[in-house]
Amino acid sequence: MLTLGIDGGATAAKWALRDDSGKIKEGVSEPIDGHTYRPESKARLVKVLNEIKAAAGNEKISAIYAGITGTSSDPENNGEIIEIFQSIFGEIEIEIVIDMVLGYRAHFDFGEGIFLYAGTGSIATYLTETGKVVRAGGWGYLLGDEGAGYWIGREAIRRTLTAIDTKSAITKGSLEAEVLDFTKCKDWNGIKEFVYSKDRSAIAALAKPVISLAKKGELAAQDILAIAADYLIDLVLQIESVVAKPDLPVIFAGGITEAGDFIIDLINIGIGREVSLSKVRIANRAAEIAAENLA
């Protein structure tokens, strides 16, 4: 008897199968999302679920816990996606939650702590004792997501444009030189085309060189990460003010954690206590939750 956990995000879907002894089979597939009204999203979901079923072989999957980007926090709205799961796995126990709820559940019991996430976007989440979602940030790239990858890339580009507009010298090894190198641009026309023709993941990818530069001591890159840390601190403090529980443990996950001590130290100081970095393999934990629900 197997339980299945899925961590379905915009970059990839990770999945894990767990049997009674806890043994695990796992894999990474194409990204999946909850926009089942889009034919391409639906087709990809069916394909990925069939691949996972094939990986399970002859053994029956008896419960599924899946966190999927773009689903609703209201289970009533996820009827169609559950039907797709059931058309492949049968009428078994299936729980679909949004990715940030899975992230929370993978790290905390209800009401236990604050989950801070900064990947391409940023959000802080708290689940109350009754499972109600309290969130701060997570407004997406047009309205917010400050402190996360897209925002960091955008800030780096803005500083480069300011240098170009004000005809400042761009020295080797500087943030501005790195942006021009990374985007393969020479001027405003090139950057304009880069930003407005590419997917926003291309801008978020700039966070990686910014983090490297900050670690090497480049001051503008460090300044961007310091402002990012302030925004991430604000997300946590906002949750604390809403739930009126000071000193909840905070776990930090997502690609921006690659900045390591540089950003963690700033966040720790801002929040006034130690913030832990996530070490959980989320799909495996989701398979465990599916097994717990079954017990």
Kindly list the residues in this chain that would bind its own copies in the complex (CB under 8 A).
Answer: 135-136, 139-144, 154, 157-158, 161, 165-167, 192, 195-196, 238, 241-242
Least Å from the CB of residue 31 to its own copies:
18
| CA Rg value for the chain | 21
Long-range contacts of residues 183-190, Cβ cutoff 8 Å, at least 24 apart: 183/157, 188/161, 188/164
Q: How far apart are CA 51 and CA 112, in angstroms?
A: 35
The nearer residue to its own copies, 38 or 192, going by C-beta atoms, is 192
Our CB check for its own copies shows the closer of 167 and 279 to be 167
**Which amino acid is located at 22 in the chain?**
G
- What minimum distance in Å lies between the beta carbon of 91 and its own copies? 29
Nearer to its own copies among residue 136 and residue 213 (C-beta): 136
Distances (CA, A) of 130 to 109, 137, 235: 11, 22, 22
Residue with tokens 């559950």: 82
Give the shortest CB-155-to-its own copies separation in angstroms: 10
- Burial grade of 105 (CB within 10 A; 0-12, 13-18, 19 or more): buried
- Shortest Å distance, C-beta 138 to its own copies: 9
Tell me how far, at minimum, the Cβ of 142 lies from its own copies, in Å. 6
Closest distance between its own copies and the C-beta of residue 157, in Å?
6
Complex with its own copies: residue 12 or 242, whichever CB lies closer: 242
Shortest reach from residue 154's CB to its own copies, in Å:
7
Sorted by sequence, the CB contacts under 8 Å of residue 113 that are 6+ apart come out as: 107, 126, 248, 249, 250, 251
Burial of 161 (C-beta count, 10 Å sphere; 0-12/13-18/19+): middle
Distance, first Cα to last Cα, the chain: 12
Q: How far is the CB of 10 from its own copies (least distance, A)?
A: 14
